Amino acid sequence: MKKDDINAHPLLEIKNLSINYNFNEERLEVVNNISLEVWNGEFVCVVGPNGCGKTTLVHAVAGFLPLTSGQVLLGGKEVLTPNPNCPLILQNLGLFYWMTVWDNVTFGLRAMNLETEEIDRIAKRWLDIVGLNGFEKRYPFELSGGMRQKLALARALVLGPKVLLMDEPFANLDMQTRESMQEEISRLADSTGMTVLMVTHNLDEAVFLADRIVLLTERPARVKEIVHVSTAHPRSPEFRVSQEFLEIKSRVWMSLKN
Amino acid sequence: MELLFLDSKKRGKIVKRTTRILKGLLVVMLFLVLWSVSAELGWINSKVLSSPSEIIEGIPQLIKYGNLLTDIGESVKRVLIGVAAGSIAGLIMAVIFGLFRELEEYLGVFIELFRPIPPIAWIPIAILWFGIGDAPAYFLVSLGSFFPVFTNTLKAIKSIEKVYLNIGKNLGASRLMVFWRILVPLILPDVITGLKVGMGVGWIIVITAEMVGVSHGLGYMIQLNRTLLQTPNVITGMIIIGLIGLILSFLLNIIEAVLVPWKKRVRDQYEER
């Protein structure tokens, strides 16, 4: 039935994706013919040198940018514009600073024209899950960095998306908050069975979170290598200093260096 | 005694705000006392500057026989209608220019030619076109309040960050929802700033226009009393003009606090630190 279907084909398919920019009559190749399959429930991290085009890639997958060629298929359907089935969490979060925490979280729900009780229920539940209880009437600027992250996540997750896309979401956080957020997102992904595609330049982050790590070359970005991380979820914080972790990280680091 | 029951944060804010008002009132009181005393002691020639007591004495007469309340009503009516008209025109023009950016390339220079002309310079033409009465006042006030609202709104529209629109779509919002819940709030602070400036400019213009060619109104009343050598009433008029200007900007601040609540919270946050 439905459950078999969703596991029979990749949930997210990136097929021969290329993105070129026309910059002052010069053609700039940013992403060159990338193909990638993401399966239901997977956590995939995309890493690569700065400026390689990974941000462009994930923005295009989310429908924020037009593709020069290729396709992005979500559940078999082509992704052409930003839509709630694959929300993108940006590095700058894009929180609606003129709205309270509550209004931010319920925004997408209101777009779905749900009953008020339903909206209340779902929103409260997710605020509880991410730990923003009691902050409903606050504005984003009144929250700490980690809390803003949680708000951005909650805002997207209330929609029950099939795939969660993230572009270096934790890059602006201090180390401790960052690690805490990594554990948070890992826990969330694991408990909801959500599929995640995350771009990061932080190798520790990628190895800690991912089932598979996709390494990109320098611009124009191509898939260089894919590294598997077979440690089961949920992963304890101590995994960061385990033998397996260090081995995988070394592999990725060496590969990127060459 | 109820103050004891409020939490310390709210108590602190009330105390802070009250002390601010008291400090301001203190200076005003001091000034009035100084003024009265100087007049009593003959330090000031009452023909040049009337004493506070003279001014206050003249008020009942002004109200009964001098139509003071009517004059106040006229001026306020003119400024409110004029600013409303100018602001709406400014808003609409800004939206049009925002939607059709090429228009600015054609019409930009033409509009900029009008901006430096002070509305006051329009008075002769206004009276020529509209005669004496309310109409020229409306025209001039609209003109004066048009530019602040137009400029501020257009600037806000041009600086809307696309990312918020994309995120709105990303979360499933319809175009209507993106418009009302994202676009409008994004430009609202600047629109209100333009409105505040427009109101300030409009109030000055209304008084000036009334002094030159309009009947009734506070400006007219000042001129009339000048010609009648009723100096205390002239000063009364000036004080009332100042007070009403203050009240108008105070009202706009309240509107701003209601429509753009997050701005004030940012300020409060910084003050606390």
Select from B164, B170, B262 the Cβ nearest to the Cβ of A88: B170
Cβ atoms of residues A201 and A216 within 8 Å: no
CATH topology of domain B62-272: MetI-like fold (1.10.3720)
Cβ atoms of residues B77 and B135 within 8 Å: no
CB contact under 8 A, A94 and B265: no
Q: What is the ipTM of this complex?
A: 0.84
Tell me which of B46 and A109 has the higher pLDDT: A109
> Which phi and psi angles does A20 have, rounded to 5°?
-120, 145
**Tokens matching residue A5:** 């279907």
> Nearest-CA residue of chain A relative to B161?
A94
Of B202, B253, B259, B240, the C-alpha closest to B80 is: B202
State how far the Cα of A170 lies from the Cα of B41, in Å rounded to an integer. 73
Pairing mode, strands A69-74 and A77-78: antiparallel
Select from A97, A98, A159 the Cβ nearest to the Cβ of B171: A159
Q: What ranges do the domains of chain B cover?
A: 7-44, 62-272
Place of tokens 């001039």: B140
Contacts of A81 in chain B (CB under 8 A): 169
- What pLDDT does residue A1 have? 38
State how far the Cα of A153 lies from the Cα of B143, in Å rounded to an integer. 48
For the cut 50, the answer to whether the pLDDT of residue A3 exceeds it is: no
pLDDT tens track for B15-61: 888 888 888 889 989 998 888 888 888 877 777 788 888 888 888 88
For residue A142, the one-letter residue type is E
- What pLDDT does residue B99 have? 85
Whether B262 has its CB under 8 Å from any CB of chain A: the answer is: yes
Select from B172, B174, B260 the Cβ nearest to the Cβ of A83: B172
Choose, out of A99, A103, A107, A141, the residue to mutate when testing the contact with B (most B CBs < 10 Å).
Answer: A107
pLDDT tens track for A161-183: 889 999 998 888 888 888 988 99
For the cut 50, the answer to whether the pLDDT of residue A103 exceeds it is: yes
State how far the Cα of A137 lies from the Cα of B255, in Å rounded to an integer. 20
Burial label, B73 (beta-carbon count in 10 A; 0-12, 13-18, 19+): middle
Terminal Cα distance for chain A, rounded: 45
